[in-house]
Amino acid sequence: MQTKWSLSEYENPKRYDIENKSLSDFPFLLSWAQKLNIQNEWILDIACGTGRVTIPFIENGYQMIGVDIHEGMLAEAKRKSMDCKKVKWLQQDCLQLKIEETILLAFMVGH
């Protein structure tokens, strides 16, 4: 996918995961999902990368949509979540999102 930004930082998804393994933002985001009483609605992770925050949400029973522009990052997210059924991974530019689902909570972390 063409972009005007340099994506060189994201060329090695495994290294990205090692450098960005903190989940310090997850408890805060999870508390919002709980406050909103999200049950069977979708949550959107914008610029989801390798699914660092998306996957813990799935593991907590939420339906997630992860969007990222980088094909390699999404491939790693898909690999890490092969057994997860409540997830959609979409390759899109987050400045031009095309999402059909109703989203009750959307977030972007680490940016």
Query: Does residue 23 lie in a domain region?
Result: no
| Encoded tokens for 37 | 């009483």
- How far apart CA 35 and CA 44 sit, in angstroms, is 16
Enclosing domain of residue 95: 10-17+39-107
The domain total for the chain is: 1
Average the pLDDT over each of 12-16, 32-36, 46-50 and give the range with the smallest value: 12-16
**H or E element at residue 94:** none
Asked whether residue 29 is domain-assigned, the answer is no
How far is the C-alpha of 61 from the C-alpha of 16, rounded, in Å?
A: 25
Q: Which two tokens stand for residue 86?
A: 């409540």
Q: Could you tell me the CATH number of the domain that includes residue 79?
A: 3.40.50.150
**Residue 88 domain flag:** yes
pLDDT at 14 exceeding the cut of 90? no
- Let me know if residue 58 belongs to a domain: yes
The pTM (predicted TM-score) of the whole model is 0.83
Q: What are the strands, taking DSSP E only, across the chain?
A: 42-46, 63-68, 87-91, 103-107
More confident residue, 9 or 50: 50
Phi, psi of 106 (to 5 degrees): -130, 145
pLDDT above 70 as % of the chain: 78
User: Regarding beta strands 103-107 and 42-46, do their DSSP bridges make them parallel or antiparallel, or are they unpaired?
Assistant: parallel
| Buried/exposed 13-26: b ≥16 CB within 10 Å, e otherwise | beebbeeeeeeeee
